[in-house]
Structure 1
Amino acid sequence: MKLYTAAAQARARAVDNNIKEQLLNASYYVFNNPGPRSLLMAHRDLIRSLLTFRDEIVNKAIENIDQALSSFNATYRQRNFPVVTVHVRRTDYTGYIKGKFKLTQLDELYFERAFEFYKERLPRPLFLVLSDDREWCRRNLQAKDVIVIAKASAAVDMAVMSLGDHHITSYGTYSFSGALLGHGHITHPIGHNTKYNLADCVDSHFFHHISRDKTYKADNSEVVVSWRL
């Protein structure tokens, strides 16, 4: 609350809506890796203005995107289609989500449904996949409109996610944070497992549940997603 109060006061003094002054005169340690999606989505613009990437990280991220788009004769800044970033976290998270939430890894069903969610709402979207298991992604997800991007550092990958027009996330705070720092809409997996409920209470027009189960239904029929140059 201290941070939000200080940010509101600083924003009132700012001339361009970007906060450039130090907000707190003390450091705080936040325990237990909290990631309250509902609170963070409500303050997305504020968070984006506070947490910015260094220029060299952004430049490397754009370079990686340009490399991925080269086969389409396009670049990040010169294209006529929306880019949807896709984060697929697998290797180090398999045991964690099984032990903590009794979850299995996401398979291609969730990602294919998320692809369709955007294809039904956007003109010719291109999906850029970032992952710690790129071989799995190439075998199971890659298609003419799905590209697995080159391996990079965690910071560059998060910057790539933030540069997407829209986002497909997997489990984990890292995946959500990359999308949160970007613009546009975010999809997140949901299923029958009630032990995992970190995203159930998010009330945002930009956050959407996509079913990961064959029998679980997520109603996104009224969702409108737009994109323009």
Structure 2
Amino acid sequence: MKYLSCLRGNRKRKALVCTLLLAITISCTFFYSVNAPGHTSPKQHVDDAIEPRKENASRVDVGSITQHLQSRERSKEGEMRRLDAASPGSEMEEFGRRDVVLDYDAVFNTSETRWPLVVFSTVGRLGNCLNSYATALTFAGRSDVTIAVTQSIYEMVTSLLEPSSLSLPVLSIKLLFEAQEVGVAEAVQPDYLKDDMVSHLLPTIERAKEERAREPEMRKIYILEGYPNRMKMLAGHHAVVRSNFQIRRELKQKAQNFLDKIRKRVGQNATFIGFHIRRSDYVKFSETFQKCSLPSSDYYDAALAHFRAHYPHPVFIVSSDDLSHAREHLSHAQDVFFSEMSLAEEDLALLASCSHSIMTAGSFGFWGSYLAGGEVLYALQRGCAFTPFVHPDSVAGEGFERWRGL
């Protein structure tokens, strides 16, 4: 204690001593963490990516990322129930996101990963991300390589979908950057100029299988870029897509509240038809790239007339990225109501809550119609340089029997 007496009343000396003690503590902690057993340095991460550790090399094909995720899901069930009861909002969502998104260690420094990995990647918005996730699901069900999606796709689709219903592994953005930097990831692009977003998918997956057969211990990630836009690929896979694509409870409830409010005005026997009108940037895209025009008001009138003739008490719920255009052409009809939602995922949940659907163009309208599950009318865009997103050639096969071009 006598050594500390000199500090009494001297603030400068106190500050100096405290600073020195803090510096010594930090230095000791850092020294121990770097030299402690089991510590992995960033350099070791890079080395492991190029040449796997020997103790893991013999087990590289044991298990899978999906099994790894499932085991972690079982271990956290109690915690998720607690968070669900306490706060169904952001706290639970953040907990789930931290645990599901796989980082470098969870992929490269584990014996659970089944190589190679094929990762679907897109920088699109909600509709495009749903396309990529659904297309990835169709390959996951018929391929013996690991099919995954990027963190950006996962975070976009979980704005609409229940995270707990999604089954594909998720790779972090940082992991993919690191893997590309050390040469163990290859990005495969589609033919954007020909609007061919699917021809590169299966050949890359087949090449991944062949390379694994030649080099069983090879660790490599294939990144499939683009915007998958041939939804006939979903034919025969609707069960797995629908089981994954469960809309979040709070969004469904908000959609039902909106529809209940309309029922009070028009009657409880209303048949709701979701109507999505895609405009904004798609107008110029169709004219300059596809060389055709978006559906006009003639199509709107014909679609309304079809449902009025075939269903009792139809009520049309209109959602659009250009509501002023929609109101200009549809506000005269007494059976037409316009969405009051403020977020894209809310609008999509509303469209999905209807019994039948009308769509014009684009992936957003497709998913509103697909998730609704009833009869769907879509516009037959003629004379386009490239096949439109929804077309008789792109919505064919099992599960699309009630889709009609008009």
Q: TM-score range by the shorter chain?
A: 0.7 to 0.9
The AA in structure 2 aligned to 1:82 is T
Distance 1:95 1:171 in 2: 13
Larger Rg: 2
- Structure scoring higher RCO (CA < 8 A, sep ≥ 6) equals 1
**Do the aligned partners of residues 145 and 41 (structure 1) sit closer, same or farther apart at CA in structure 2, a change above 3 Å counting?**
farther
Distance 2:317 2:363 in 1: 19
5+ residue gaps in structure 1?
Answer: 7-19, 211-229
8 Å Cα contact 1:167/1:179 also seen in 2: yes
The AA in structure 2 aligned to 1:56 is E
Does 2:270 align with 1:81? yes
Q: Percentage identity across aligned positions?
A: 23
Does 2:324 align with 1:129? no
Does 2:354 align with 1:164? yes
- 1:55 counterpart residue number: 249
- 1:38 counterpart residue number: 232
Give 1:158 shift. Answer: 0.4
Distance 2:304 2:166 in 1: 40
**Do the aligned partners of residues 172 and 191 (structure 1) sit closer, same or farther apart at CA in structure 2, a change above 3 Å counting?**
closer
Alignment deviations for residues 105-152 of structure 1 (CA, whole Å, 9 cap, x no partner): 322111111112222211121111111222222221121111112132
Report the count of equivalent residues.
192
- 1:4 counterpart residue number: 141
Give 1:93 shift. Answer: 1.7
5+ residue gaps in structure 2?
Answer: 1-137, 144-163, 172-221
Distance 1:29 1:187 in 2: 35
Alignment deviations for residues 52-104 of structure 1 (CA, whole Å, 9 cap, x no partner): 121111112222223344422x4xxxx21311000012123211222221122
- 1:12 counterpart residue number: none
Does 2:337 align with 1:147? yes
Instruction: Please show how residues 194-209 of structure 1 align to structure 2 within 5 Å.
Output: 194-197=384-387, 198=389, 199-201=391-393, 202-203=395-396, 204-209=400-405
Distance 1:22 1:69 in 2: 33
Give 1:191 shift. Answer: 3.4
Distance 2:300 2:235 in 1: 22
**Do the aligned partners of residues 30 and 159 (structure 1) sit closer, same or farther apart at CA in structure 2, a change above 3 Å counting?**
farther
Give 1:195 shift. Answer: 2.2
Distance 1:70 1:29 in 2: 50
**Do the aligned partners of residues 176 and 41 (structure 1) sit closer, same or farther apart at CA in structure 2, a change above 3 Å counting?**
farther
Give 1:168 shift. Answer: 0.3
- 2:259 counterpart residue number: 65
**Do the aligned partners of residues 4 and 146 (structure 1) sit closer, same or farther apart at CA in structure 2, a change above 3 Å counting?**
same
Pick aligned residue for 2:294 from 96, 105, 108 = 105
8 Å Cα contact 1:83/1:125 also seen in 2: yes
Distance 1:136 1:21 in 2: 36
| Larger helix share, 1 or 2 | 2
8 Å Cα contact 2:165/2:243 also seen in 1: no
- 2:284 counterpart residue number: 95
Q: TM-score, normalised by structure 2?
A: 0.44
Distance 1:193 1:122 in 2: 32
8 Å Cα contact 1:88/1:169 also seen in 2: yes
Q: TM-score, normalised by structure 1?
A: 0.74
The AA in structure 2 aligned to 1:51 is F
